[in-house]
Amino acid sequence: MIPESFIQELLNRVDVVDVIDKSVPLKKAGANYSACCPFHNEKSPSFTVSPTKQFYHCFGCGAHGTAVGFLMEYQGLSFVEAIQELAKMVGMIVPQETRDENRPAQKLVVGLQESLQQAAQYYKAELKKSQRAIDYLKARGLSGQVAAKFQIGYAPAGWQNLQTVFPDYENEALSTAGLVVQNEQGRRYDRFRDRIMFPIHDQKGQVIGFGGRVINPEDTPKYYNSPETPLFQKGHELYGLFLARRAIREAGRALVVEGYMDVVALAQYGIEYAIAALGTATTPFHITKLMRQADEIVFCFDGDNAGRTAAWRAAMNALPALTDGLKLSFLFLPKEHDPDSYVREFGKEKFEAEIKVAMPLSQFILKHLSEENALQSQEDRVRFLNEAEPILQQINAPRSAMYLRKKVAELAQLSLEEMHALLKLPNLNKAPVQARPKLTRTTISLHKRVSLMLLMQPDLANAEDLEWLPSETEEEELLRLTIETCLLHPHSKPVVIMRELEDKVDTKLFRELERELSLLDETLDLALEFAGAKQQLEQVYVHKQGGELLAQISEKPLSALTENERAMLKNLGNKPSRNRV
């Protein structure tokens, strides 16, 4: 059994927009994304995906759910397979738990998100009070608008300032969220003190951690991040990605830099597609996350030895995630510059001109392997092959791997066949794994959708719904019978309620319901979806009743309407009828 806590953490890490966009190309539509529904044929888009709610919904056929539900319905996966697929996308390992009644329940720390959000608001308010912090940001060329956009704040000097925000300073949520530290003597104090604070957001825009930068250059460390928490894992998150997603998609590229100030300074100059790793080398999870946003990733590092070392680590970490459609490049700035100082001195156009001529990954690898190897002797070439072999082993993208292999063979003065005979390299001609055929579905009515959800969770049935629901059609009668049966068996399994319904509803309708039921997963929480579907159904009847009323009274002259009819007509809304005088 997969622990519920793991499923929640997984859904916090994945982005439903990214998951769906890999299979169904999405287009921005206001605050949401849209596409033609993949589950039924349509000419105009009625399928929407909400990045804030992490939910998809089709207004045509009623398909709806989370990232888990999409994989189940689109790829035909089981619930467990969908969880495993999502976990693979973000580099998580699916744990299993066995039920042990004697084992104490795992302690759950609540209030992490709320604590982090309150701290962010506090730091933001404190920035306005600190002229020293404001002067520092102005000296770095930041405007108030950019500081507000990134929600930059200030953690004042002092040991327990957060006690003014959190009266229960001993609350475990504060230490678990990484806001408060406890020393060996049991004394608690604020983790961040006298630092410019950069909130770190997840894909929903929620604060999950902080990065703090010193104001005094003599203080250390220069950057100080939140620790690993249930909400924040450095190897999976990228600073600024939530704000940069639209700019990345529009530019077709993501720019990876080293520090928070680099991201903010570049945004100040109109380069809004920059993001930064969080005190760690770029990981395969970072690359995979960025690949869902753009087909080009440019790493920008300082030109000194430390910058080149960081670039090499990023290149090596990117190899397992490399695909033939992805372009990885490396931009090295002059030794005296970082992205912040370079863009301030030379401007946006010069910086973007440098981005366009950045060094491709293959060229960077070959240059790195050969810059301290003259490749003149047999021993030189053997060392070159030995260093190249583990790199070539990690590249699974067939075309990229083949071209790099040919270049390595040429530099080693070997044919491709000779090199393959010497090195243990993966087979690039391996047949691709056949993907499961996606499921197709026909449009399912609101009545059947609500009936299905009641079958899955009968305690959602409400006797009051019988008062407004007619029974003129077979589907309306189906829903009425389902509600009545669920009220009698509020804690029964779907099979029990289906057995009760079988002899009462139309046979064809029953078989359709049975088939749709087999596609659903019993472990999903349907309460939210049920509320939305029922609200839609209620609106259908409100509009229907309004239409009937309008048809009746539109035949009368305005002077002949009763006060009651006038009031009902007014309540229908402000849309005028063409029959009204």
> Which residue, among 384, 364, 359, 385, has the nearest Cα to 374 in the 3D structure?
384
**Same domain (yes/no): 152, 219:** yes
Quick one: 86 and 120 in the same domain? no
- Does residue 2 or residue 574 have the better pLDDT? 2
User: What is the model's pLDDT at position 333?
Assistant: 92
Give the C-alpha separation, 453 to 298, whole Å.
47
| Model confidence pLDDT, tens digit, residues 161-180 | 999 999 999 998 899 899 99
Residues 58, 141, single domain; the answer is no
* Pick from 209, 199, 203: nearest CA to 232: 209
Same domain assignment for residues 381 and 493? no
On whether residue 543 sits in a domain, the answer given is yes
Question: Across residues 493-515, what is the average pLDDT?
Answer: 81
Q: Is residue 176 part of a domain?
A: yes
Of the candidates 203, 232, 261, which is a domain's last residue? 232
Q: Residue 301 is inside which H or E element, if any?
A: strand 296-302
Q: Are 297 and 314 in contact (CB under 8 A)?
A: no
4 pLDDT exceeds 90?
A: no
**What are the φ/ψ torsions at residue 536 (nearest 5 degrees)?**
-60, -40
Residues 477, 384 within the same domain: no
CB 308 within 8 A of CB 296: no
As given in the structure block, the two tokens for residue 25 are 């190309």
Residues above pLDDT 90, as percent of the chain: 35
pLDDT classification of 439: cutoffs 50, 70, 90: very low
Task: Provide the pairing of β-strand 195-201 with 223-225.
Answer: unpaired
Question: Is residue 73 domain-shared with residue 126, that is, in the same domain?
Answer: no
| Highest averaged pLDDT of the listed ranges 226-240, 339-353, 498-512 | 339-353
Q: What is the DSSP string of 506-554?
A: -HHHHHHHHHHHHHS-TTS--HHHHHHHHHHHHHHHHHHHHHHHHHHHT
Lowest mean pLDDT among 121-125, 326-330, 561-565: 561-565
Angle, helix 112-129 to helix 131-139, in steps of 10 degrees: 90
The stretch 326-332 carries a mean pLDDT of 93
299 with 305: CB under 8 angstroms? no
Whether pLDDT at 560 is above 80: no
Query: Quick check: is 166 in a domain?
Result: yes
Q: Is the pLDDT of residue 436 over 50?
A: no
Q: What is the DSSP letter of 283?
A: -
| 580: phi then psi, degrees, rounded to nearest 5 | -80, 145
Please identify, among 201, 216, 232, the residue that sits at the C-terminal boundary of a domain: 232
Instruction: Report if residue 312 sits inside a domain.
Output: no
Strand, coil or helix: 563: helix
198 lies in some domain: yes
> In terms of domains, do 76 and 116 share one?
no
- What residue numbers bound the domain in which 390 lies? 372-422
The pLDDT of residue 549: 62
Alpha helices in 130-171 (DSSP H): 131-139, 144-149
Which SS3 state, helix, strand or coil, does residue 217 take? Answer: coil
pLDDT over threshold 60, residue 97: no
Q: Which CATH number do you get for residue 16?
A: 3.90.580.10
> Do 395 and 460 have their domain in common?
no
The answer on 226 and 115 residing in a single domain is yes
Q: What is the C-alpha to C-alpha distance for residues 394 and 251, in angstroms, rounded to an integer?
A: 29
Work out the number of other CB atoms within 10 angstroms of the CB of residue 169. 15
Is residue 221 reached through a cis peptide bond, with omega within 30 degrees of 0 on the bond before it?
A: yes
pLDDT at 228 over 50: yes
In this predicted structure, the answer to whether residue 440 has a pLDDT above a threshold of 50 is no
Query: Which pLDDT tens digit goes with each residue over 361-415?
Result: 999 999 999 988 989 999 999 999 999 999 999 898 899 999 999 999 999 999 9
Task: Please report which confidence band the pLDDT of residue 520 belongs to, taking 50, 70 and 90 as the band edges.
Answer: low
By the 10 Å C-beta count (0-12 exposed, 13-18 middle, 19+ buried), 46 is classed as: middle
C-alpha 150/C-alpha 124 separation (Å) is 10
Q: What is the pLDDT of residue 126?
A: 96
496 and 455 within one domain: yes
Count the domains in the chain. 4
Same domain, 227 and 115: yes
Which amino acid appears at position 418 of this protein? E
> How many whole angstroms separate alpha carbon 324 and alpha carbon 407?
17
State the pLDDT confidence band at 199, using cuts at 50, 70 and 90: very high
Instruction: Extract the tokens encoding 564.
Output: 């009651």
Alpha carbon 370 to its chain centroid, in Å, reads 39
How would you class 193 by CB atoms within 10 Å of its CB: exposed for 0-12, middle for 13-18, buried for 19 or more?
Answer: middle
Residues above pLDDT 70, as percent of the chain: 85
On whether residue 36 sits in a domain, the answer given is: yes
d(CA 282, CA 540): 51
Measured CA to CA, the distance from residue 239 to residue 210 in angstroms comes to 10
E strands, 124-237, are: 153-155, 180-182, 188-190, 195-201, 207-214, 223-225
Query: Could you tell me if 81 and 96 are in contact, meaning their C-beta atoms sit under 8 angstroms apart?
Result: no
Is 285 contained in some domain? no
CATH (domain of 121): 3.90.980.10
Average pLDDT over residues 11-34: 84
Of 206-220, 292-306, 472-486, 517-531, give the lowest mean pLDDT range: 517-531
The 8 Å CB, 24+ separation contacts for 571-577 are 572/546, 573/546, 577/550
Q: Give the pLDDT score at 98.
A: 53
Average pLDDT for 28-53? 82
Q: Is residue 502 in a domain? A: yes
Distance from C-alpha of 244 to C-alpha of 240, rounded to nearest angstrom: 6
Q: Examine the fold and report which residue of 23, 58, 90 is the final residue of a domain before the chain moves on.
A: 90
CA distances from 389 to 275, 321, 395, 406, 423 (A): 31, 18, 11, 13, 7
Task: Spell out the alpha helix ranges (H) of 178-330.
Answer: 241-251, 260-268, 284-291, 305-318
Strands (E), 324-449: 327-333, 359-360
**pLDDT tens per residue, range 250-280:** 898 999 998 899 999 999 999 999 999 887 7
Cα four-point dihedral sign 469, 473, 477, 478:
negative
Same domain membership, residue 467 and residue 544: yes
Distance of CA 468 to the CA centre of its chain: 40
Q: Collapsing DSSP states into helix, strand and coil, what is residue 255?
A: strand
